[in-house]
Chains A and B, each alone.
Chain A
Amino acid sequence: MMNWGEFFNMGGYAFHVWTSWGLSLASMITIVILGRRKNAKIKAQLANQIRREAKINSDNQEQ
């Protein structure tokens, strides 16, 4: 069984090692989340636009 306290201490370099790894992980996750969110946003915007256009069209036909 390994010693977790010793592992997290990283031989006294805990701050340096964990900040570097943490920053890398955080930026990767951020990139992916931002990308996915943007995709949803673009699709929602477009869908909205299409719905609005459909409504305008049907309104025009009713007149």
Chain B
Amino acid sequence: MNALLLNTLTLYFRREWQLMFRNTGTLVQPLVFFVIIALLFPFSLPVDLDLLEKIGGGVIWVSAVLATLLSLERMFHGDYLDGTLEQLLIHHRYLPLAVLGKVIAHWSATGLLLSLMSPFLCLAFNVPVEQIWVLFIGLMLGTPSLTLLGAIGAALTVTLHRGGVLIAIIILPLYIPVLIFGAGMLSQQVQGLEILSQIYTLAAILVLALTLAPFAIAAALKATIN
């Protein structure tokens, strides 16, 4: 029984992984988007290294949120168009697990890469080294929640032709707690305060999302695809 559950998870993880790496062009899109958005901010601000250092963490967080959002529309849409999703809905007993495998694979191609990329962006914003670590940990804990929450929106809008704007309207308000605690960690660190409580909160949100979101995603898929 347990082996079967695990098999479902790895099966869909591996499938998604293979599909994604077959098309590396779309794989790097969110990453490039992330970097460009973050680098647009200095152009819109006065040339001031202190200011950049102050806002750097927040800017990178907002860019990560936007890059995740951009990648969401594609999460289920391809599978919906070629009928894979319908097959999955018809015969699969462990739909939440299958979906979870897909979401984890999706995160490893967006959130994980974004987090790994963030230290280099920090250099552009003149962020000191001890804060780079804080930002990295925050992103590693926060981006999986972003992808999981976003997948609910992606599942709800999968049948729509132009679901992108609707996903943004639905999902962005739900991202606020993650953003607050993730970016809040940095300002706490700057003030020389303890950041453990924020790490715990982000982890708690992640655990909550990890346990509840797969069921919500599965229900959303069932509701919108007939």
Q: CB atoms of A and B under 8 A apart anywhere in the complex?
A: no
B residues neighboring A (CB under 8 Å) = none
